[in-house]
């Protein structure tokens, strides 16, 4: 699982590939456009925060989790308009309060794996809102689901992406929410990434926004979480039943993601192989306590070329 990573940006040595204009991912990027990163919990967003913050000035960046988003909406239009990066666990719909052109990005995750990761993260993180409950009583995941302790474990991805109309936790997430979430992904998101395709998603973001290419290291993976295959059949079935809309939404997002890959052109697969190889070499050189930057630059200069 990719959650917390060290990030290294290499700015000018990776050539910009030719891009075919066939989908949202390849639209001309407006540098004055505001970017909203809708961060789905336990879907790899911590790494992306670090990458985003390297490309936007701190003075033009704002965190917009639920409470901050409510405050943001009350700010004068002039102040709301000065931000170019808005990021956090926020419901779709924030763009209506931004007095400039804006677009969204997000990463989704396989629903069963996301729920398992959420549970173990909450159980092991003292400042998580569920931690006091889970620390006071050793509740397994089946019990947490049965007691309905949080709406985030029940079609949480659909709820966020359907929009602030579903912000009330008492409102059931329905087929209407699923259809709205699909529409929002299709029409308002420049890039739809997947945690399971993290590297490819990063390259799609780079191509869409002209960013520098990030190399990263895994350094804070949740250690308490067992392999997802260790789930018993009953628990897996409970998760799937509680997240049936998320399962359908993930497949829809997978289709959007695959379309983005096709639109990126024939050279994308080779670009991705190069990036994965170099990132693996970067990680090995870092673990040897060497300074990897000069080495990576040299490798880029000597051996890397993109098809144009």
Q: How many CB atoms neighbour CB 288 within 10 A? A: 8
Instruction: Give the model's confidence band at 21: pLDDT under 50 very low, under 70 low, under 90 confident, else very high.
Output: very low
pTM for the model stands at 0.84
- For the chain, domains (ranges, CATH) are 5-303 (3.40.50.300)
How many residues can be counted in the chain? Answer: 308
Nearest to 189 by CA among 271, 289, 116, 259: 259
Q: Which residues contact 73 (CB under 8 A, 6 or more apart)?
A: 80, 94, 97
> Average model confidence (pLDDT) for the chain?
83
pLDDT tens, position by position, 47-98 = 888 888 888 999 999 999 878 898 999 999 999 999 999 999 999 999 999 9
Q: Give pLDDT tens digits for 152-177.
A: 999 999 999 999 999 998 899 999 99
Tracing tokens 């988003």 back to the chain, one arrives at: 69
């Amino acid at each position: 699982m990719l959650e917390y990573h060290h990030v290294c940006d290499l700015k000018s040595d990776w050539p910009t590939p030719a891009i075919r204009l066939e989908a949202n991912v390849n639209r001309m990027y407006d540098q004055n456009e505001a970017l909203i990163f809708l961060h789905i919990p336990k879907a790899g967003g911590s790494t992306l925060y670090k990458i985003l913050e390297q490309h936007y000035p701190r003075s033009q960046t704002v965190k917009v989790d639920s409470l901050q988003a409510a405050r943001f909406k009350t700010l004068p239009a002039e102040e709301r308009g000065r931000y170019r990066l808005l990021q956090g666990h926020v419901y779709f719909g924030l763009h209506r309060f931004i007095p400039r052109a804006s677009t969204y990005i997000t990463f989704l995750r396989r629903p069963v794996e996301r729920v398992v990761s959420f549970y173990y993260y909450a159980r092991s993180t003292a400042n998580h809102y569920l931690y006091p409950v889970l620390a006071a009583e050793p509740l397994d995941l089946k019990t947490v689901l049965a007691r309905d302790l949080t709406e985030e474990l029940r079609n949480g991805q659909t709820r966020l992406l359907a929009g602030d109309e579903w912000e009330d936790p008492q409102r059931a997430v329905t087929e209407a929410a699923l259809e709205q979430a699909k529409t929002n992904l299709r029409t308002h998101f420049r890039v739809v990434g997947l945690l399971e395709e993290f590297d490819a998603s990063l390259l799609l973001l780079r191509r869409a926004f002209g960013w520098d290419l990030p190399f990263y290291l895994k350094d804070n993976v949740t250690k308490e979480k067992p392999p997802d295959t260790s789930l018993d059949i009953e628990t897996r079935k409970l998760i799937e039943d509680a997240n049936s809309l998320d399962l359908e939404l993930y497949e829809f997002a997978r289709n959007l993601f695959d379309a983005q890959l096709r639109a990126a052109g024939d050279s994308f697969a080779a670009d991705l192989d190069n990036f994965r190889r170099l990132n693996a070499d970067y990680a090995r050189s870092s673990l040897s306590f060497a300074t990897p930057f000069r080495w990576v630059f040299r490798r880029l200069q000597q051996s890397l070329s993109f098809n144009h």
